[in-house]
Structure 1
Amino acid sequence: KMKTQSLIAAAGLFYASRVYSQDTIYSGTGFGTYYYDVEQLDACGNDFGPQNEGAVECSLSTALSLDQVNSQYLVAMNHSQLVGDMATYCGKRVIVSVNGVPSSLPLFIGDGCQRCGTGSSSSDSWDPNGAPGLDFSYSVLSELSSSACSDGHISISWEIVDDTLYNFDTNAPGSPEGPVGDSGSNSPATTAAAADPTPASQATDPALSPSVDSSTEDPAPTTLPCATGAWQCNANVLEQCLNDSWTARFTCDTGLTCQGGSSPYCAP
């Protein structure tokens, strides 16, 4: 058994070194969780239908939903880090390792994760209120670990490399949004409906995740000039600059307020 495990590990390392020779943009250690699934809608007792309708952060202008991207391989990373330099991270390949063995899954950055931007980067203990890491589809997390459903999280390390797998309007402006190499005729951007986006990635604890609250009226949009892609708080609403104007993206749940200035998040 030990020999077999060693061979698997060696094969994984060889695959990673052979295929992923691109420069590393960022690497880290932490925890992997799941927040959507476009194929197994009721996996592990969940209802991913509403979640799959949420817009992904890397699709700023078109506001593609998880359903429209239609890929199990989209990954959410630290929200604050992502919005700070979306052109660098969006669409880039992510190499995820479990127990030191890299996965060959074609994972790419496409969304932001609130939980992933909080907690101690040096802690090896899971904290549902905040822990560094990445957020995946349920199918991917269950492929990375058999304990995906029972535990809801796994220990991982990851590397974001300079290899674009998916074109978003943030990292490839002017190009059709879709997988790199796709002709674009059937790309999600050609069928995306113009609508107010709802948040896609959520923390493991739903109370910590921003959500659209239809029962409360959003504050009036801010009219000051802004830089495309920037974020701010407006009362309890997280706003993003789209087409030179502030647009409401998320509304904090009852009892939470928008905090964090240019890297906003919802907190008590």
Structure 2
Amino acid sequence: MKNQILAAAGLLFTTALAQNKISSGSGFGTYYYDVANANQCYTDLSSANKGQVECSLTQVWTLENVNSDYLVAMNHTQLVGDMGKYCGKRVIVSVNGVPSEMPLFIGDGCERCALGSPSSNVWSPGGAPGLDFSYSVAEKLSSQACDAGHIEITWEIVDELVYQFDYNGSGRSQGFVGSVPTGPSKPTTTTAPPAPTPTNTSSGPCSNNAWQCTPDGTSLEQCINNQWVIRAVCSNGMRCHGTDNPYCNY
């Protein structure tokens, strides 16, 4: 009887996840930051920790501001296509079919994850489907994260809000919904992030919903009503990179 109850509970849990699933995929997991310990796997990640997260559209909000190694970066193109759908939502990541219980959530865009074929099962640093993690999370998912540099994963993004981002530039406050999950983090600071520096947009014609870097390389702009509009300003020290899929990086 006990086994029947456990089986039924597992079925209900699986069914609930299937009903709430908004995206899923398979591919490769990598790492690019770690706020709890910037020196990981023979690499200094302190500069990456200062990078602005893509889910904060107009406020300068870095990985250090989020202060959680549970933030996950997903396919950049998919993310910017519908920020409200994905930003802050929980991600269930599985390795060898075993789902992780870590409270992972979407908060950033991954350029590598947006390049190459979305159905590819061959690793390539220049483009392969997947997700990008903190080193602490990647190492918990697989002990081979450091040696191999990437791990094979599957994932589901479910309609459960873990972290509230200002994904549409409304100026709303940003932070965890409910209690802050336990896990690697650094002591919080009360210092507010610096205000974005205004910049000029492009003046030429454009096609609606297209993205590019501003001429001075400080911001990301989108074509709205056939005019370029600044949608995000790179944080101090960072520059806009990419063409059709721009992103901020050092």
Tell whether 2:103 aligns with 1:106: yes
Q: Structure 2 CA distance, aligned partners of 1:50 and 1:119?
A: 27
Give secondary structure in 2 for the equivalent of 1:122: coil
Shift of 1:68: 0.8
Shift of 1:236: 8.1
Q: Structure 2 CA distance, aligned partners of 1:127 and 1:95?
A: 23
Indicate the residue corresponding to 2:211 in structure 1: 231
Tell me the alpha carbon deviations over residues 83-114 of structure 1, each in whole angstroms, 9 at most, x when there is no partner: 11101100000000111111111000000010
Tell me the alpha carbon deviations over residues 137-157 of structure 1, each in whole angstroms, 9 at most, x when there is no partner: 000000000001001100001
Distance of aligned partners of 1:178 and 1:132 in 2 relative to their CA distance in 1, 3 Å threshold: same
Q: Structure 2 CA distance, aligned partners of 1:16 and 1:46?
A: 39
Tell whether 2:248 aligns with 1:251: no
Shift of 1:176: 2.2
Of the three residues 167, 170, 174, the one matched with 1:170 is: 167
Tell me the alpha carbon deviations over residues 17-75 of structure 1, each in whole angstroms, 9 at most, x when there is no partner: 38746511110110000000001211111111111111101011222110110001000
The answer to whether the Cα contact below 8 Å between 2:91 and 2:104 also exists between their aligned partners in 1 is yes
Indicate the residue corresponding to 1:201 in structure 2: none
Distance of aligned partners of 1:71 and 1:19 in 2 relative to their CA distance in 1, 3 Å threshold: farther
* Alignment-mate amino acid for residue 89 of structure 1: Y
Q: Structure 1 CA distance, aligned partners of 2:233 and 2:170?
A: 22
Structure 1 unaligned regions, length at least 5: 1-9, 198-218, 253-257
Moved more, 116-125 or 83-92: 116-125
Tell whether 2:221 aligns with 1:240: yes
Superposition RMSD in Å? 3.4
Indicate the residue corresponding to 2:183 in structure 1: none
Moved more, 232-241 or 75-84: 232-241
Indicate the residue corresponding to 2:132 in structure 1: 135
Tell whether 2:195 aligns with 1:192: no
Q: Structure 1 CA distance, aligned partners of 2:144 and 2:70?
A: 19
Shift of 1:192: 3.1
Moved more, 120-129 or 27-36: 120-129
Indicate the residue corresponding to 1:73 in structure 2: 70
Give secondary structure in 1 for the equivalent of 2:120: coil
Runs of 4+ in 1 over 2 A off after TM superposition: 13-22, 171-176, 188-192, 194-197, 219-226, 229-238, 247-252, 263-266
Distance of aligned partners of 1:158 and 1:20 in 2 relative to their CA distance in 1, 3 Å threshold: same
Indicate the residue corresponding to 2:152 in structure 1: 155
Distance of aligned partners of 1:14 and 1:35 in 2 relative to their CA distance in 1, 3 Å threshold: farther
Tell whether 2:116 aligns with 1:119: yes
Tell whether 2:25 aligns with 1:36: no
Distance of aligned partners of 1:85 and 1:53 in 2 relative to their CA distance in 1, 3 Å threshold: same
Q: Structure 2 CA distance, aligned partners of 1:191 and 1:28?
A: 38
Distance of aligned partners of 1:22 and 1:81 in 2 relative to their CA distance in 1, 3 Å threshold: same
Indicate the residue corresponding to 1:200 in structure 2: none
TM-score (normalizing by structure 1): 0.71
Structure 2 unaligned regions, length at least 5: 1-6, 181-187, 223-227
TM-score (normalizing by structure 2): 0.75
